[in-house]
Amino acid sequence: MESLVKDQPRQVPPLSQLKVRLGPSGIHLFERMKGLNILLDEVRVPPNLWARAPRQVSIALTNACDLSCPYCFAPKNPAWLDVGEVMGWLTELDGDGCLGVGFGGGEPTLHRSLADLCHYTAKSTGLAVTFTTHAHRLDDRLISSLSGNVHFVRVSMDGVGNTYEALRGRPFVAFREQMKQLRHLAPFGINFVVNAQTFPDLDAAIELAADVGASEFLLLPEQPTRTGPGIDSPTTTALRDWVHFYRGCVPLTISEAGSDGLPICNPLSGEDGLRSYAHIDAAGVLKRSSYALDGVPLKGCGVIAALQLLRKFLSEDTQ
């Protein structure tokens, strides 16, 4: 989708602030402070020079969470990643062309070293730092410890008012106040799981997103898990119609898994699958997504070596 309002001219930062990623789509320049992306797609990069790491990697720091949302995909077995191991993975990913890391869970604010990991990533690598949270633990102390070391925050909000409270078991008024606090930390977006129960709240959710200053609204059509079938067919159809007629001021994005049949814009179409994204779960297993059941353990392996094994496994699995 394209904006109907012309953007103001943007000052391109010095080359020293731009991270360079080479890939099948061309030369990708990225500036993490403002999220600026520049793609030189007229350049043909030889395959032997393509970045070996995915463009984006999510890392579940823990499976622990103090909520119990019925559609949650995270395993319920206790698991916490070791800080030293995570730092090693981050250094490796940074050196092999990854542009950003997203810390998640479970609930990442329950991991005692979240602030340390964000500080290390921001100060010792060129990776953009994001994390996904339910926001209820973001008090003044935690926000202060994260300040200056986070480039974007994703806040989970599935439904508004009574719908939110029924699904998440927390007061919606308190949640709304927490989002206002986020303005002091970093730009933020809203993650919205779409299913038959939450879809009727989409218009109200978008209105709220605009009111609290969210910079994007990520649609997450519910995926099948061990505990649920995912979004149903009538709701999928209704969501496609809703997106088609959307005219709101908050930009929409959507998960790759739920994008079929929707008018998406993907300038990096040559970078799909593991070139685009990978996930490391709280047990230290590299997977193609957070929903995948199988993966490659990173213990004693390293991220890039595990990626090569996972690509081989997935290639054989599709034959």
CATH class of 52-317: alpha beta
Mean pLDDT, all residues of the chain:
89
Looking at residues 124-143, what average pLDDT do you find? 95
Looking at residues 264-280, what average pLDDT do you find? 88
DSSP helix/strand/coil, 2:
coil
Which tokens is 126 given? 């060129």
d(CA 284, CA 280): 6
Residue at token pair 């991270």:
19
Residue length, the chain? 319
d(CA 243, CA 233): 16
pTM, full prediction: 0.90
Contact 152, 189 (CB under 8 A): yes
Which tokens is 58 given? 């999510």
Amino acid symbol at 143: I
**Helix extents (H) in 96-188:** 114-124, 140-146, 161-168, 172-182
Angle, CA 266 vertex, CA 182 and CA 3 arms, to 5°: 65
Looking at residues 99-124, what average pLDDT do you find? 96
Q: pLDDT by residue (tens digit) across 213-246?
A: 999 999 999 988 776 788 999 999 999 999 999 9
| pLDDT at residue 13, rounded to an integer | 54
- DSSP3 helix / strand / coil % (the chain, rounded to 5): 35, 20, 45
Sequence ranges of the chain with CATH classification 3.20.20.70: 52-317
d(CA 157, CA 154): 10
Which tokens is 304 given? 């890039």
Q: What are phi and psi of 280, to 5 degrees?
A: -115, 120
